[in-house]
Structure 1
Amino acid sequence: MNLLQSLKAKLLRALAKRMKGKFVYDAAQFPLRAVAEEFIPTAWGPARALFYWPNTPPAQPLPVYLNLHGGGFVAGVPEHDDSYCRRLAHNLGCLVVNLDYVLAPEHPFPAGLRQSFAVLEWLAEQATALGIDPQRIAVGGHSAGGNLATGVANLARGHQRLKVVHQVIDYAALDVSQDPAFKLSSLDQPLLRPGLMRFFNSCYLSDPTQALDPLVSPLLATVGELRGMPPATLITAEYDVLRAEGEAYAEKLRQAGVPVTERMFAGCDHMFTHLGPDDSAEQAWQLMEDGLRGAFRVEKGEAVAVSSADALV
C-alpha cells in the first residue's frame, strides 16, 4: 500500500459516507423489534455489524440474511443499505446482519472475504443464543459486495454447522481479471469508468495474479467448481459495464446445475437499486425478497420433514 493510494481511498470513503440513496424506503413502513450495532470478534479485528431484528414472535429460530455493501472493496458503509435491510427483515421475518467488513488497501484480498465468512461462522456458533437457524442462512451483496457474497457462498459449501441456502448477486464484479477498458456500456458516461475500476482493483489485490483466483473472479471458476453452489438471484442492468460478466456467470451457474433467477433491468445503470429509476429499483428489491422467501420456506419445510421422520424412528 502506497501513500497516494491510501489518501485516495480515504477521500473516496469520505465522499461515500456523505452519499445518500435516491431510492430509499421510509423506516416507518417496516417497523422492527430492534436495530442493534454489534462487534463480532474475528482474526481481522472486531467486525462491526448492524443487526435488524424482526418484530415476530420468537416461536422458532429465525432465518438469517447476511448483507454485504458495495464500494469497490475500498469504500462504502453498511448504512447505505439500511432502509433495504429494514424492509427485508420486516417482510421476511428474518434477522438481517448488515456487515461493515474490512476494506482495501489496508486490508487487501482475502481479508474482507475471510472476515465475512468468519462472521457467518460466528453466527452459526451463536445460533442458540441468538435464536437463529444456522441451516437457513442466505448471503447477498451489491457490486463488490455481490462478489464477496459469491465467495462466502463458495467457502460455505459442505460446512458442518451452517448452510447457505441462497445467494443474492446484485450487479456484481465477477471478472476482475479483465481489463476495465474492455467492459463497455452503450452510455457515453456510465457510472463505472475504467480509471476508477483499475484503482479499486489495485487496492484490493496485493498481487495482480490474484485476479485469476475464482474467489476474486468467480466467472473464472470451472463449471465443475461451481457445482453445489446455492441457488441464486442474479441482477444485472442494461447500461452497467458489469452486465456481460453477470450474464456469463448466470449461464455458467446454470451449466453447473445451480438454479438461477436472473433478470436484466432495461434502462438502468450500476447501483440502480439505490439510485433509481424508482420503479425498477422496487422491482429489483421485490425480486430479491421473493428469492430469499422461497429459499427460507423450502429449507424450513425440509427441516420439519426431517424432524418428523426422526420422531418416528
Structure 2
Amino acid sequence: MSLWQKLQAKLLRAFAKRMKAKFTYDAALFPLRAVVEQTIPTPWGPALALFYWPHSQLSAQLPVYLNFHGGGFVAGTPEHDDSYCRRLAHNLNCLVVNLDYVLAPEHAFPAAPRQCFSVLEWLASEAGTLGIDPQRFAVGGHSAGGNLAAAVAGLARGHQALKVVHQLIDYAALDLHQDPALKTSTSARPLLNAGLMRFFNSCYLSDPAQALDPLASPLLAPVEALAGMPPATVITAQYDILRAEGEAYAEKLRQAGVPVRQRMFEGCDHMFTHLGPDESAEEAWQLMEDSLREAFQSVDGADAGASAQRGEGSLHTISTIAP
C-alpha cells in the first residue's frame, strides 16, 4: 500500500460520504420496527452493519437479505443503500443486513469477500437468537458489491448450516483481469473510466495475478465450477463500461444450469439505481424486490415451519439508531 493510494482513497471516501443518492424513497413510506447498529466479530476484523427489522406479525423465522454497497472496494458507504434497504425490509417482511465491509488498500483482497462470508456464517450461527431462517438467505450488491455477492454465493455452496437462495448482481465488476482500457462504452463520458478502474484494482489487489482468482473475478470461473450456484438476477446498464462482463457472467451461469433473470436498462449508466433516471431506477428496484420475494417464498410452508421450530429463542436487543 503506497502513500499515494492511501491519500487518494481517503479523498474518494470523503467524496462518497458527501454524495447523496438522487433517487431515494421517503422513509415514512416504508415504516420499520427498528433500524439498529450491530458490530459483528469476524476473523478479518469487526464488521459494522445496519439491521433493518420489519414489523413482522409472523411466528416463522424471517428470511435475510445481506447487502453489499459499491465503491470500487475502496470507497462507498452502506448509507447510500439505506433507502432501498428500508423498502426491501418493509415490502418483503425480511431482515435486511446492510454491511460496512473492510475497504482497500488498507484491507486488500481477499479480506472483503472473506469478511462478507464470515458475516453470513455469523448470521447463521445466531439464527435462533435473531429469529431468522438460515435456509433463506439472499445476497446482493451494486458495482463492487455485486462482485462480493457473487463471491459469497460461491463460498456458500454446499454449506451445512445455511443456504443462499438468490444472488442480486447489479452492474457489477466481475472481471478484474481484463485491461480497463478494453472496457468501452457507447457514451462519450461514462461514469466509470479506465483510469478510475485501474486505481480501484491497484488498491484491491496486492498482486495483479490475484485478478485471475475467481474469488476476485467471478467471470473467470469455469462453467463447471458455477454449477449449483443460487439463482441470479443480473442487472446491467447500456452505457456502463461493466455491461459486457455482467452479460457474460449471466450467460456463463446459464451454461452452468443456473436460473438467471437478466435485464439491460437502456439509456442508463453505472449507478443508475441511485442516480437515476428515476423511472429506470424504480423498475430496477422492483425487479430486485420481485426476485427476492420469489426466492424467499420458494421455501414451502412446511419447510418454513420446520425452520421456525429449529430456531428457538428471542431477538436480542441492540441500540436503536433510527425508527
Q: Under a length normalisation based on structure 2, what TM-score does the superposition of the two structures give?
A: 0.94
Q: Match of 2:299, SS? A: helix
| Counterpart mapping for 1:1-313 below 5 A | 1-301=1-301, 303-304=303-304
Task: Among all aligned residue pairs of Structure 1 and Structure 2, give the percentage whose two residues are the same amino acid.
Answer: 76
Aligned equivalents of 2:282, 2:40: Cα separation in 1:
32
Higher relative contact order structure (alpha carbons within 8 Å, sequence separation ≥ 6):
2
Name the CA shift for 1:256/1:302 in 2 (closer, same or farther; >3 Å): farther
Aligned equivalents of 1:99, 1:163: Cα separation in 2:
19
Please list the CA deviations of residues 266-296 of structure 1 after superposition, one character each: whole Å capped at 9, or x if unmatched: 0000000000000000000000000000000
Q: Tell me the CA shift for residue 44 of structure 1.
A: 2.0
Q: Match of 1:165, SS? A: strand
Does the 8 A contact of 1:253 with 1:260 survive in 2?
yes
Q: Tell me the CA shift for residue 300 of structure 1.
A: 4.0
Aligned equivalents of 1:304, 1:77: Cα separation in 2:
33
Please list the CA deviations of residues 99-129 of structure 1 after superposition, one character each: whole Å capped at 9, or x if unmatched: 0000000000000110000000000000000
Aligned equivalents of 2:302, 2:104: Cα separation in 1:
40
Aligned equivalents of 2:111, 2:216: Cα separation in 1:
12
Segments of structure 2 that go 5 or more residues without pairing to the other structure are 308-323
Q: Match of 1:250, SS? A: helix
State the AA in 1 paired with 2:299. Answer: E
Please list the CA deviations of residues 57-113 of structure 1 after superposition, one character each: whole Å capped at 9, or x if unmatched: 141100000000000000001000000000000000000000000000000000011
Q: Under a length normalisation based on structure 1, what TM-score does the superposition of the two structures give?
A: 0.97
Aligned equivalents of 2:192, 2:304: Cα separation in 1:
46
Q: Tell me the CA shift for residue 173 of structure 1.
A: 0.3
Q: Tell me the CA shift for residue 194 of structure 1.
A: 0.5
Q: Tell me the CA shift for residue 221 of structure 1.
A: 0.7
Q: Tell me the CA shift for residue 304 of structure 1.
A: 4.8
State the AA in 2 paired with 1:44. Answer: W
- Give the corresponding residue for 2:315: none
Does the 8 A contact of 1:136 with 1:300 survive in 2?
no
State the AA in 2 paired with 1:10. Answer: K
Please list the CA deviations of residues 211-232 of structure 1 after superposition, one character each: whole Å capped at 9, or x if unmatched: 0011111111111000000000
State the AA in 1 paired with 2:5. Answer: Q
Q: Tell me the CA shift for residue 170 of structure 1.
A: 0.1
Which structure 1 residue ranges, 4+ long, deviate > 6 Å from structure 2? none
State the AA in 2 paired with 1:252. Answer: K
Aligned equivalents of 2:220, 2:299: Cα separation in 1:
29
Aligned equivalents of 2:305, 2:115: Cα separation in 1:
34
Q: Tell me the CA shift for residue 43 of structure 1.
A: 1.4
Q: Tell me the CA shift for residue 302 of structure 1.
A: 6.5
How many residue pairs are counted as aligned between the two chains? Answer: 307
State the AA in 1 paired with 2:287. Answer: L
Aligned equivalents of 1:30, 1:48: Cα separation in 2:
23
Aligned equivalents of 1:84, 1:265: Cα separation in 2:
18
